[in-house]
């Protein structure tokens, strides 16, 4: 009886040492380390070239350029009238097309921002005025002064769409 208990104990010690050795070897080899997974591939050195290769007709490119010029002019007019303040670099086409707005004030109030501002902030295009107060939380959500930046409410989006519809329908005497 004593002999079988000793054999059983030796087997258990052997199994334990084997498992510990296997665990140690797997640990130092790094084969069980979780890998970083990203939703999008890392930017390549040729990213700018890849974007230029978008297959659009010359006419479509001209129309896009013309639309951008028109949006820029409308933005400048609204700035002069005090109806447009962006929180991001470039033209905020959403604010322009929906009659203007103050994206910096929207961020500071914490009630939500327009979709274009939301996307541009996540793309790293914040103006200097707010960039120092931006940070990320543990869930990779963008924050302004430790408050999560959210997109406009559904009601606000619908309201802005109505403004756009009204602007497009408005008859202007020339």
Rounded to two decimals, the pTM is 0.67
Residue-wise pLDDT tens digits, 44-53: 555 555 455 6
What SS3 class is residue 69? helix
Closest CA to 113 of 81, 156, 164, 146: 156
**Local confidence band at 34 (pLDDT 50, 70, 90 cut-offs):** low
- Sign (positive/negative) of CA torsion 91, 114, 81, 127? negative
Residue 39 maps to a domain: no
Residue 77 maps to a domain: no
Residue 61 maps to a domain: no
How many structural domains are present in the chain? 1
Identify the domain containing residue 91 by its residue range: 82-174
Residue 60 maps to a domain: no
Residue 122 maps to a domain: yes
Residue 168 maps to a domain: yes
pLDDT for residue 2 is more than 90: no
> What pLDDT shows up at residue 18?
77
Residue 36 maps to a domain: no
pLDDT for residue 95 is more than 60: yes
Compute the average pLDDT of residues 116-123: 96
Percent above pLDDT 90 for the chain: 63
């Amino acid at each position: 009886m004593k002999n079988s208990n000793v054999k059983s104990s030796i087997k258990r010690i052997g199994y334990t040492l084997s498992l510990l050795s296997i665990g140690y070897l797997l640990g130092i080899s790094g084969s069980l380390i979780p890998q970083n997974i990203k939703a999008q591939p890392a930017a390549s050195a040729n990213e700018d070239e890849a974007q230029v290769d978008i297959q659009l007709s010359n006419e479509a490119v001209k129309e896009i350029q013309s639309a951008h010029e028109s949006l820029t002019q409308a933005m400048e007019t609204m700035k002069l009238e005090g109806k447009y303040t962006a929180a991001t670099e470039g033209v905020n086409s959403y604010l322009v097309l929906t009659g203007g707005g103050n994206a910096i004030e929207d961020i500071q109030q914490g009630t939500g921002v327009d979709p274009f501002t939301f996307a541009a902030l996540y793309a790293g295009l914040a103006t200097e005025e707010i960039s120092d107060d931006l940070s990320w939380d543990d869930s990779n959500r963008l924050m302004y002064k430790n408050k999560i930046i959210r997109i406009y409410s559904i009601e606000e989006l619908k309201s802005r769409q109505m403004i756009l519809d009204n602007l497009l329908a408005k008859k202007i005497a020339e």
